[in-house]
Amino acid sequence: MNRFTGIRKILSSRKDYIRTAENQRDIYYKVKRGRLKLRIINEKSCCLIYYRRNEKSGKRVSNYILSYSDNFRELDFILRQEFKILVTVVKKREIYIKNNIRIHLDTVKKLGKFLEVEIIYGDFNIAKDQMKEIISCLNLEETEFIKPSYSDLLINKK
């Protein structure tokens, strides 16, 4: 059993996580500050996501704004009038949700398989404790964590 399958098995056995799955296409647009992407979900709806984070920090803390729509084609058309496309990330995402925690098992086209953990927090110390619990539960090694985003990995692969 490979590691990805093992993590899926652990998460699937936990009754406190809700599982969903999506096909996602993230179109990143070249902007002056931060990152702007249009996430197309199952070719039916989308979420425009603008975020900024300190790429030099050891912690991956993001400030973001989300805007949902059902008309991704028109939104993409408008965005392409003002911004060049930086890169497109295509992935299949299994999502395991428990309260403020989202664990993603991603299969990213041209990159491979990844695990991503998002903790939406009010108290950073509580979030750190939650992350420690996830690392322990899934038998993860922090030395295996990577900092670059999928978009950065694809750009650097070219």
| Ordered mean pLDDT values, 10 residues apiece, the chain (158 residues) | 86 93 98 96 97 67 88 96 97 96 97 94 91 93 87 90
Using an 8 Å Cβ cutoff, are 17 and 90 in contact?
A: no
Q: Residue 43, Cβ neighbours under 10 Å: how many?
A: 11
The domains of the chain, with CATH numbers, are 3-157 (2.40.320.10)
**Per-residue pLDDT reduced to its tens digit, 128-150:** 999 999 999 999 988 888 888 99
Sign of the torsion formed by the C-alpha atoms of 132, 137, 139 and 144: negative
